[in-house]
């Protein structure tokens, strides 16, 4: 019997797993002569054929961002195949041979501390690369982690949660909580802003579970109870559950599980560095672990043969491209051509290339027209916006900062372009987990717009909403309520009580209320 083939090249050979989002098959790429993993997104997650088209485009966009992670711990994503006749969406990926992390976990046979530290440190190594973009996983859990035969920890399904989420802006991504309840951060429970520190909370849940064999919180079959525990209950100390857990490892776990994102470690690199004392030394003999009579792959191997996370990026560098001198007229013509080409690339969701096309003419245009020329500033602003759309906020942030300073020099600190660039820089900071700085920046921008336009202006309303959401994401519930309650009243008057935007704020306010109120 011949295997079923999709897209004329990928053969479905053997079903490997089935989960909440779909089935995973071992497949074969007949064109490149290699094994692949093929994930079938469940048809019930696709409402109608047009929805499948939207998901396919979203997948390609997110896959391009994910591909930039460039770490061996992230399986490559090769293709998205849509069978229009049945509205089936298949994701074609690197096939990983290994053991799911779930098979490591046992309350009756605790894992050696060096094993636990090795698994979590490898996860942090992957996250250091992903968060540098930044790409936030959103659904880290043992089911999405695999220990390959060589001991490498593979982080699966990067971008899948983002692909299936509602197509709304990232900062206002409020509404339905996304993630797995047992590993869901407080900000995910509230369905507000997620940042790299959201993944760190899940790392804390995984670290706790690997050490003890038990989840941080156990709401039984009551999902609402479990979410309430993430919001309000303190986790049990590891030392009470397992006597040989070092105090420093217990302290790290508790910090990772902090309710407020900014109370967690600064980034994955810090977590990695704090795990170093518990990692095996180079050349040290491995500790063998078994489950069900089978020897498990050894995640300590990369540290007995050391590896390290990616260095933190230097945001002080200004991107430039080599360019021959041109006249002012030639510069204007080159800008127009680059913008037209960039527009074509954007229609195909090719954000990185669209931004690079604009960057290629910036140096020559700046030299010919002047660095503070309005045409040059607009080109830079357009490129920075494309970087944000493409998920590359870490590169966009310093450019928006420089643009805000340039517009302030040219037109003054109250100029609309100055304020808009400051606003976009704040959004980038929020995305990168710098919530306190982002809030201060947004408040200053709001004060400027409010003084000029009043509370009913659309930009002012958007800023008030974003500040409220960010306060909620930072765990500042009282302050968030103080912002969102009057905003809800204003939305009810301006848009109507049944408008989707009004209802969204009402629902968030309900989630922010303490239990029993």
**Residue boundaries of the structural domains of the chain:** 4-93, 98-289+297-304, 313-403, 433-517
410-436: per-residue pLDDT in tens?
999 999 999 999 999 999 999 999 999
**CATH of 433-517 among 3.20.20.70, 1.25.40.10, 1.20.1370.10, 3.60.9.10:** 1.25.40.10
CA atoms of 212 and 113, how far apart (whole Å) = 10
More confident residue, 291 or 449: 449
The whole-number pLDDT of residue 294 equals 66
Which region among 59-68, 113-122, 309-318, 377-386 has the lowest average model confidence (pLDDT)? 309-318
What is the pLDDT averaged over residues 128-144?
A: 91
Residue 172 pLDDT > 50: no
* Domain 98-289+297-304, architecture per CATH: Orthogonal Bundle (1.10)
What is the pLDDT averaged over residues 292-298?
A: 74
C-alpha Rg value of the chain to the nearest Å: 25
Question: Which of 29, 33, 79, 139 is labelled catalytic?
Answer: 139
CA atoms of 65 and 390, how far apart (whole Å) = 7
What are the start-end ranges of the H helices in 172-278? 186-189, 196-212, 223-232, 238-241, 247-256, 268-275
Beta bridge partners, 38, equal: 25, 92
Q: Name the pLDDT band for 19 (thresholds 50, 70, 90).
A: low
The whole-number pLDDT of residue 446 equals 97
CA atoms of 266 and 278, how far apart (whole Å) = 20
The whole-number pLDDT of residue 315 equals 60
Tell me how crowded residue 315 is: count the other CB atoms within 10 A of its CB.
Answer: 11
> Using an 8 Å Cβ cutoff, are 198 and 261 in contact?
yes
Helix (H, G, I), strand (E, B) or coil at 368: helix
What percent of the residues of the chain are helix, what percent strand, and what percent coil, each to the nearest 5?
55, 10, 35
Q: Name the pLDDT band for 167 (thresholds 50, 70, 90).
A: very low
Which region among 52-66, 249-263, 378-392 has the lowest average model confidence (pLDDT)? 52-66
**CATH of 4-93 among 3.90.1150.10, 3.40.50.360, 1.10.3720.10, 3.30.200.20:** 3.30.200.20
Residue 49 pLDDT > 80: no
267 as an active site residue: the answer is no
């Amino acid at each position: 019997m011949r295997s079923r083939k999709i897209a004329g090249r990928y053969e479905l050979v053997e079903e490997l797993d089935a989960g909440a989002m779909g089935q995973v098959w071992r497949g074969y790429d007949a064109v490149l002569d290699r094994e692949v993993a093929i994930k079938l997104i469940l048809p019930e997650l696709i409402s109608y054929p047009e929805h499948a088209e939207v998901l396919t485009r979203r997948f390609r966009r997110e896959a391009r961002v994910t591909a930039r992670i460039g770490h061996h711990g992230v399986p490559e994503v090769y293709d998205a195949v849509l069978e229009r006749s049945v509205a089936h969406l298949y994701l074609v990926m690197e096939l990983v041979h290994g053991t799911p992390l779930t098979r490591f976990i046992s309350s009756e046979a605790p894992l050696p501390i060096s094993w636990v530290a090795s698994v979590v440190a490898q996860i942090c190594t992957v996250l250091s690369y992903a968060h540098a973009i930044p790409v936030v996983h959103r659904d880290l859990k043992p089911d999405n982690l695999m220990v390959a035969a060589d001991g490498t920890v593979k982080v699966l399904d990067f971008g899948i949660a983002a692909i299936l989420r509602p197509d709304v802006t990232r900062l206002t991504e409020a509404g339905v909580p996304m993630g797995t309840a047992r590993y869901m951060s407080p900000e995910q429970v509230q369905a507000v802003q997620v940042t790299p520190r959201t993944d760190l909370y899940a790392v804390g849940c995984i670290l706790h579970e690997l050490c003890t064999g038990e989840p941080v919180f156990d709401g039984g079959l009551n999902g609402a109870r479990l979410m309430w525990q993430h919001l309000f209950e303190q986790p049990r100390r590891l030392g009470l559950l397992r006597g040989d857990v070092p105090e420093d490892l217990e302290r790290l776990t508790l910090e990772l599980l902090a309710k407020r994102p900014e109370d967690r470690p600064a980034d994955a690199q810090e977590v990695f560095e704090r795990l170093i004392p518990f990692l095996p030394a180079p050349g040290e003999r491995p500790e063998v672990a078994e489950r069900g009579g089978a020897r498990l792959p050894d995640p300590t191997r990369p540290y007995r043969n050391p590896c390290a996370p990616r260095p933190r990026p230097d945001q002080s560098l200004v991107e430039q491209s080599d360019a021959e001198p041109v006249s002012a007229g030639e510069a204007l013509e080159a800008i127009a051509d680059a913008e037209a080409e960039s527009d074509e690339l954007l229609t195909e969701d090719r954000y990185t290339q669209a931004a690079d096309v604009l960057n290629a003419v910036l140096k020559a245009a700046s030299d010919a027209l002047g660095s503070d020329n309005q045409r040059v500033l607009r080109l830079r602003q357009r490129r920075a916006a494309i970087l944000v759309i493409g998920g590359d906020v870490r590169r966009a942030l310093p450019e928006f900062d420089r643009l805000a300073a340039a517009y302030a020099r040219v037109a003054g600190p109250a100029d609309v372009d100055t304020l808009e660039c400051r606003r976009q820089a704040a959004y980038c900071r929020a995305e990168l987990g710098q919530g306190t700085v982002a809030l201060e920046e947004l408040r200053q921008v709001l004060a400027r717009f409010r003084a000029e336009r009043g509370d009913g202006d659309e930009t002012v309303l958007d800023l008030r909403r974003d500040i409220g959401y960010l306060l909620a994401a930072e765990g500042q519930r009282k302050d968030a309520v103080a912002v969102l309650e009057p905003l809800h009243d204003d939305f009810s008057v301006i848009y109507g009580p049944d408008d989707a935007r009004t209802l969204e704020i009402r629902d968030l306010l309900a989630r922010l209320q303490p239990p029993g109120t």
